[in-house]
Every structure is written in C-alpha cells, then in structure tokens.
Structure 1
Amino acid sequence: MGDAAYPAPPSGSGIKTAILVGAIVALLAANVYMYLQLDRVKTDMAKLRESVLTEITNLRETSSVTSQTAKRHLDSLKDELETTRRQANSMATQAKAEALKHAEQLASQIEAEQKKQQEQVASQLSQVKQSADTQIAAVNTDVTGVKSQLGMTQAELQKTVADLKKVTGDLGVQSGYIATNGKELAALKRLGERNIIEFNLGKSKQPQRVGDISLTLKKADPKRNKYTIEVLADDKITEKKDRTINEPVQFYVAKGGRLPYEIVVNQVGKDKIVGYLSTPKDQVARN
C-alpha cells in the first residue's frame, strides 16, 4: 500500500506552536488568578482600613469619655479636699475654743483649791499656835515649878551639906564629908566630890564584892554599935576591928593614889551592917 494510507508525522514547528499556546493559556490563567487575588487583597485592605478607622474612632471616644471621667473625679477630689480643709479649720477653731474654756476652768479650779488649802493651812496654823501657846504656858508653869523645886532642893542640899561633918579617920587622915543617914548620903552623892557605893553586908565566910574591893563581916555588935570587918584590896587582907558607926575606916589601894578609900557604917544589926564605900574621883596610882 502506498503513503496515502498513513498521515505524515507533524513537523517540529507544530510542537513548538502547541507548547507556546499552552504557555500563553497558563500565563493568562495565572494573570486571572493574580488579578483575583489582588482584588481580594484590596478588599481585605479596605476592610482592615475601615476596621482600623473604626477602632481609632472608638478609642478616641473612649479616651474622651475616660478623660472627662477622670476630670470629674479630680474635680470631685478637689472639692472634697476643700471641704475637708474648711472642716479642719472649723474643728481647729472649735478645739481651740474648747481648750481655752477647759484651761479657764482648770485655772478657776486651781485657784479655788489654792484658796481652800490656804484657808486650811491658816486654820491649822491657828490651831497649832493656840496649842503651842497653851503648851508654852504649861511649860512655863512647869519650869517655874521646877525652878522653885530646884531652888528648894538646892537650899535643902546646902543646908544638908552644912550639916555634914568632916572627921579624922582611923588612919589619922582628915576625911571628906561623912553621911550619917539616908538624907545626908543623898546630899553627899549630889555633892559629887567622891564616888559613893552603898552596901548591905551580911555575915559570911566568903568576901562580898563592894565596888573594886571585897569585904567580909566578921562580927557585928548592935548593942555597942561596933563591928569587925576584913578588907581585901590589892590581894591583901586588912582587918578593921571593933570599929564604931559613922567612923571613917580608911585604907589605901594602889590605884587610889594619895587619897584613901573610906568605909562608913551607919547601922549595925544582928549579923549585918549597912553603910557605904567612898572612893576618890580621880584615881591615880601612887609612886
């Protein structure tokens, strides 16, 4: 069979043409798609712009409202501050007035209390003065009485001292005043020239302490008013035998100096004697 039964294969230019046509179609399709996308983007941008403008408008309105609210609140605070200041000033004025009133009340109260205390002090001083005057008068009366008694006592003492006698003791030494009874003994003590130690000595085998010496009664004869004693002084015993009442019985001790000790017996009873020991005031050891 011949060539007419089969078509001839396309040439190379036909393929190129087909490819070019396909590319053009694809390009057109891409442009259409890009156009559509661009239009869509424009629409979205317009919507976005409108939304942004709306937000800005709303924000401005909100900001305006907020500013107005803040201003009103600030004005309210300013008004409240002013009111508070006026109240504070008013309260300060009132407090000052109340403080002044209270101070005046305190001053009046203090003045009243001071006046009351002054009156009480004056009353107490008057009472004290009256009591003192009464006591002074009583003391003056007592002093007058004491002076009178003292004068009488001194006069009596002088009279009693004048009645006292000075005699020579058993050692031949002139004695001081001799008391023969209780009244004269009291006067002798008041005279104060010598130390006076009274004793009531009973008969005993053991010495009895009288002042700084010891005495032992050996014999007592009330009928003859005589007695015998032993004197223990400076570790030495001296017997004074058959002495009579109111006779100064004298002896020396080391610390008595040049003045003798004296024993005077005023009463002689059965197995006892009553009298006193007289010692020098200034006792200095003899050389």
Structure 2
Amino acid sequence: MSITPSPVPGSEKQLAAEPTPASPASSSPAKSSYLPLIAVAVVMVLGLGGLFLYTKSLSDRLNQAQLSLQASLSSQSQSLEQITRRLDQTDTRQTDLQGEFSSTKQTLGSTQAEIQKARQMAAQLAKQQQESSQQLSSQLGQLAQEQEATRGNLGSLSTDVTGVKGEVKSTQAELEATRSELKRVIGDLGVQSDLIAHTRTDLEALRARGDRDYTEFDLRKVSKRQKVGTLQLELKKTDEKRQKYTLNLVADDKTVEKKDKNVFEPVQFYQQGYRQATEIVVQQIFKDRIVGYVSAPKIRDPQTTAAKAN
C-alpha cells in the first residue's frame, strides 16, 4: 500500500521556474504524511495482537473442547463396552431362558399328560366306586331279605339242632357198640387173633390204631388168582346157606387150602420174616363170591429175616 501527497495549487509554476533545494520547512509536510501509515501499522499490530490472543484463546478452547470430547468419548466407550457386556450377558441369559423354557414346555407337556391320565384314572375309579356302591346296595338288600328269611327259619333251625344232638347221641351209641363188637377170637390155627372188624366202620377203627396193615378184597370164583397185598387168593367154592367157603392162598411160593371156613373166622398162616400170623377175615359170603380183608403184621422179625438170608 503506497500514499502519494496531493500537489499544492500554484506550486507547479514555481517548481518549473526554478528549482530550489530542500529545506526544513518543506520536509515537515512529508513527515506528517507518514502518520496515518504509522497509525494504520499500529492498528494492524494491535489487530494482529488481538487476533493472536483471540486465536490462542480459541486454540485453548478447542484443545479444552477436544480434551472434553475425548473424555466424553472415552466415557461413552466405557459405557458402550458395559452395554456390550450387558447385551452379551442378556444374550446368554436369553439362551438359558430359552433352554429353560423348552425344558419347562416339555415338563409341562408331560405334566399335562399325567394330569390327563390322572383324570382318566379318577373317572374310572369313580365309575368303579359307583358300580361297587350299586352292587353293595344290591347285596345289602339281598342280605336284608336273607336275614328276614333266617329269622323265619330260626324255629326250624332249633328243631334241626335238637335232631342233630339226637343223631350225635345215636352215633356215640353206635361207636360204643362197635367197640364192643371188636373182639378177639381164636383162629383156625388155635392162636388168639387180632381184633375182628364186622363192618367197614370197624375196619376204619382198626386202621386208625396203626398196629397192622389192612387190605380189603372182593374175591370171585374165576379161573385166575387174585393178588391181595403180598398174597394170591383163589376162591374154590361157597355155601351161601351155611355161610361157608373154601379157598387157596399162595404165600412165600407155597399154596395152602383153607376148606369150609366160616364167616368172621380168622384164617391164620405165617409168612417168612414175621413172628405174628397173617389173618384172612371174610365178612360176607355170596354165591361164588366173598368179601373181606387181610390183616398183616407191620413189624418184621429180625432173627427170622437173618435166618432166611443165610
């Protein structure tokens, strides 16, 4: 920027007529012409200084704002990291909740099935209970009818009890008579026999004693011998009118004829190994048929058995 002083009127002629040397009076206006320039320079310096101060203040503010922004960004970054961690935890929790929900759903389905089954069982039990109640009511009604009938039969029952008592007394009397009939007699070998059974009741009483073995027989007149216990018997003839009979018996490979024997007569013989006699007792005689039993000792004689073995 340049400043040119404006010309003074009438001075052009003087300057053109004669040149004059510079003097102190003419240099004063030149100095005064630099004052505005200096003032402008001062203003510019002041402006630049103010601008520098403003720029520095603005720079400080910017730095402070940048630091604050960085701090804010750092805080926001930390917050963002915390939020990210929370989101991760939330995702994990959500996954766990989904697993728990699936498990709960399955459990709920199983529970609903069990509830349905329990309801069905309860309905079935209720039905059975109703049927049982109806059946019980029917049975109670029938029982009441039977009780009424029983009350009506009490009189006849008392009569029946009296009759049973009479039958018991009669049975006791028959037992006493049976005991009196079980007598010992002399057999055909002249040996006192065992007790003689005249009836089946007598025979059962003898069996109950357990002293001897008893085998019943129903022997008919046939061509073959009949095995009775350890014996073989063959009926030869019968005399129904006189109540006599004749038979052959085979014991220990020996055949013995017992001729004209009477009913209830003990037919005696000895078997090897036994000290007591074996007896045949005929209780009934028919035409070509006899009915009776064989009484054999239970205890073998050790000496007789040893002698047979030797």
TM-score by length of 2: 0.46
Give the TM-score taking structure 1 as reference length.
0.50
The one of the two structures with greater contact order (alpha-carbon pairs below 8 A, sep at least 6) is 1
